[in-house]
Amino acid sequence: MNRKAVGAAFAFPFTVFLLTGCVPQQQYDAVVAENNQLKAQLAQSQAEQKFVEAGDLLFPSGGFQLSPAGQAELTNNVVPRLRGLQNAKIVVYGYTDNTPVGPELQRQGIPDNLVLSTRRAATVANFLVSQGINPNIVSAKGFGDTHPVASNDTPQGRAANRRIEITVQGPGAATM
């Protein structure tokens, strides 16, 4: 085989390869549109909605049982937004300030802020379930005083740190 024939034998499949790698603009645009749609669906499924409730509103000072005002707050402002969610994940996080728990709480089996925050989160989670929220998607976790949002050096800062955060993750969170 001469050089010209070898070159032609190589060039023809290479040219066919290049041409088959090209796609019409319309087909390309359709693939891009589908990709953007999938990205939007993924973003929605990974969305998160968060409700922050003041601990002083939900609980009596130094307590872990919901106050009547706390029950009303959850019933009127949070439960309606959570009702009907099935494929989402609802996590109730509890936080405290850094003031040590008092003797009254210690007599009730609450030795420290971590346990107090966990009990408060569990109380809210149980209340949500009692109001018709799917128990299979609700969980609770306490962090004690480990994630402050303000300085514990002032009464206002300590009050801001005593909080409950209710997060909704997954489908439905973005449309709440």
Task: Give the chain's mean pLDDT.
Answer: 84
| pTM (predicted TM-score) | 0.72
Mean of pLDDT values over 73-89: 91
Q: Which of 25-29, 115-119, 170-174 has the highest mean pLDDT?
A: 115-119
Comparison of pLDDT for 61 and 95, the residue scoring more: 95
2-47: pLDDT as tens digits: 555 544 455 555 555 555 556 677 877 776 677 677 666 655 555 6
Comparison of pLDDT for 29 and 49, the residue scoring more: 49
Question: What percent of the chain shows pLDDT beyond 70?
Answer: 76
Can you read off the two tokens belonging to residue 13? 């499949």
Comparison of pLDDT for 24 and 139, the residue scoring more: 139
Is it the case that residue 153 has pLDDT exceeding 80?
yes
Is it the case that residue 107 has pLDDT exceeding 60?
yes
Determine contact, residues 133/79, Cβ cutoff 8 Å.
yes
Domains of the chain, by residue range, sit at 3-42, 48-169
Q: How far from chain centre, in Å, is Cα 66?
A: 23
Fold (CATH) for 48-169: 60s Ribosomal Protein L30; Chain: A; (3.30.1330)
Comparison of pLDDT for 46 and 165, the residue scoring more: 165
| H/E segment holding residue 39 | helix 25-45
Can you read off the two tokens belonging to residue 19? 């041409």
